[in-house]
Amino acid sequence: MWRYIVRRLLWVALVVLVITMITFLIFFVMPPTDPAVAFAGKSPTPESIAEVRRQFGLDRPVWVQYGLFLKHLFAGDQYGWPGLGFSFATRQSVRSLLLDRIAITAQLAIGAALVWVCIGIPIGIISAVKRRTLVDRLSMGLALFFVSAPVFWLGLMALWLFWFKLGIASGTGYVSIGTSFGSWLNHMIMPWIVLALLFAAFYARMTRGNLIETMAQDYIRTARVKGLPEWKVIFKHGLRSSLTPVVTMFGMDLGTLFGGAVITETVFNLQGIGQWVVTSVFNSDLPVILAVTIVTSLVITLMNLLVDIVYAYLDPRVRYRAGAAISCLMPGLALARFSPGSSGKWQAARSPAALGSSGGSSTTQRSIRASLARTLMVSTLARDQSGSPCSPSRSTVTCPRRSTRPRRSVRRSWLRLPLMAGRSS
């Protein structure tokens, strides 16, 4: 596991490096406007543009400019670490502006994520358990409504109802949590709910569909036959394996929201990253756009890493070995097959695709697979017709010889039954 995490962290660094290179080429080498002209202000002279080019190093080759950008990014600049330069519009450090605004966006994203998980997943579970009932149809109808409703309309309706008409919620704006916790919570609760309603609808539908499909599996039926309580079957066996697609959605959605919830921040006047980057695009503030792109890509890649790690704990069939995710060992064991040419002998059938491209495996996998094969075949072939038990050897399980003619007739009649049933249906 730790080797896999270290390798993924190295891949995260490589992905961020590639993203910074592409973004730098787009905004500094092939921009719609000259960065020197954007910084020089209104009606610049050629002398001032040339001076700006010299100060920023824009007169140097592209690879030298990118090298200086990476040096400042990883080693820091005069404004601190990471070195993101300063804004063309405000002449302030991008780092300080980013830290102030990313705190607001993080509070909005994490709070909304908690709300939509607490709303969407329980509704999906109830709809799956109470399938085709009034509760199911009502919850899915509400989910469809909130999926279709625009976020800006929900935000404006919430402000009109709870702030303007009822007066039970604060209006727009942001209050720091250090100033007053109650005022901070009163200002953030409405953006959380408005942003969470859209995502909660998606999560409810996803949880319902996955849980319905999981509850139809054979191991769920086995758990019920064993006499387990229904709540234990649902939450321990069904919900755990059906949450893996939901975890993937959660990681991607939360990472994307760290890049800014533009509409929600605009409606509720929250000075977060989304509103900031939109203003920077209109002002051609290239350092700000580049900084937000780097932060968003870093958060999304880290969230993907966390999702892969959570998979190993949610689904016991997933294991991480030798830096790659492989499935459990049971798919490599094709139960048992009759060995032609050896009467009364059964042996394990190994799938070469499950063992790798060469069909081989490690010593540990071979020993585990052999023990599983022997255990499975001994339980399947417990006794022959005469009542004598099968004797397992090291690689095969050998049963005493038996009369082949009656068994062949029974086998043929047993094989004909599904065919006849299939034709009659």
Q: What's the chain look like in SS3?
A: CHHHHHHHHHHHHHHHHHHHHHHHHHHHHCCCCCHHHHHHCCCCCHHHHHHHHHHHCCCCCHHHHHHHHHHHHHHCECCECCCCCECCCCCCEHHHHHHHHHHHHHHHHHHHHHHHHHHHHHHHHHHHHCCCCHHHHHHHHHHHHHHHCCHHHHHHHHHHHHHHHCCCCCCCCCCCCCCCHHHHHHHHHHHHHHHHHHHHHHHHHHHHHHHHHHCCCHHHHHHHHCCCCHHHHHHHHHHHHHCHHHHHHHHHHHHHHCCCCHHHHHHCCCCCHHHHHHHHHHHCCHHHHHHHHHHHHHHHHHHHHHHHHHHHHHCCCEEEECCEEEECCHHHEEEEEECCCCCCEEEEEECHHHHCCCCCCCHHHHHHHHHHHHHHHHHHCCECCCCCECEECCCEEECCCCCHHHHHHHHHHHHHHHHHHHHHC
Strands 391-392 and 345-350, by their bridges, are unpaired
Q: Give the pLDDT confidence score for residue 365 in this predicted structure.
A: 52
Q: Is the peptide bond preceding residue 316 cis, with omega within 30 degrees of 0?
A: no
Q: Cβ distance 233 to 223 under 8 Å?
A: yes
| 324 phi/psi in degrees, rounded to 5 | -140, 155
Give pLDDT tens digits along the chain (425 positions): 678 778 888 888 888 888 888 888 887 777 666 777 777 777 778 888 888 888 777 788 888 888 888 888 888 888 888 888 888 778 888 998 999 899 999 999 999 999 999 999 999 999 999 988 999 999 999 888 988 888 889 999 999 999 988 888 888 889 888 888 989 999 999 999 999 998 999 999 999 999 999 898 888 888 888 888 989 899 888 888 888 888 888 988 998 888 778 889 989 989 889 889 888 888 878 888 888 888 888 888 888 888 888 877 776 666 555 444 433 333 333 333 333 433 333 333 333 333 333 344 444 455 555 555 555 554 554 444 444 444 444 444 444 444 444 444 444 444 443 433 443 44
Taking the alpha carbons of 162, 167, 173, 179 in that order, is the dihedral positive or negative?
A: negative
Q: What one-letter code names the amino acid at 38?
A: A
Q: Give the pLDDT confidence score for residue 372 in this predicted structure.
A: 56
All domains of the chain in start order, with CATH: 2-75 (no CATH), 94-321 (1.10.3720.10), 332-379 (no CATH)
Q: Cβ distance 246 to 94 under 8 Å?
A: no
Residue 76 burial (10 A CB sphere; 0-12, 13-18, 19+):
middle
Q: Cβ distance 109 to 258 under 8 Å?
A: yes
Q: Which two tokens stand for residue 392?
A: 């397992």
Q: Give the pLDDT confidence score for residue 370 in this predicted structure.
A: 57
Q: How far apart are CA 333 and CA 348, in angstroms?
A: 7
Q: Give the pLDDT confidence score for residue 369 in this predicted structure.
A: 57
Residue 71: Cβ within 10 Å count? 12
Among 338, 311, 312, residue whose Cα is nearest residue 396: 338
**How distant, in Å, are the alpha carbons of 16, 34, 208, 338 from that of 22?**
10, 17, 40, 58
Describe the strand order of the beta sheet including 396-398 as a list of residue ranges.
Answer: 333-338, 345-350, 396-398, 391-392
Q: How far apart are CA 416 and CA 178, in angstroms?
A: 77
Taking the alpha carbons of 273, 274, 278, 284 in that order, is the dihedral positive or negative?
A: positive
Q: Give the pLDDT confidence score for residue 80 in this predicted structure.
A: 82
Q: Give the pLDDT confidence score for residue 331 in this predicted structure.
A: 37
The region, left, alpha or beta by phi > 0 then psi within -120 to 50, assigned to residue 362 is: beta
Q: How far apart are CA 99 and CA 93, in angstroms?
A: 10
Q: Cβ distance 233 to 220 under 8 Å?
A: yes
Q: Give the pLDDT confidence score for residue 405 in this predicted structure.
A: 46
Q: Give the pLDDT confidence score for residue 355 in this predicted structure.
A: 38
Q: How far apart are CA 179 and CA 117, in angstroms?
A: 28
Q: How far apart are CA 191 and CA 157, in angstroms?
A: 12
Q: Which residues pair with 325 in a beta bridge?
A: 320
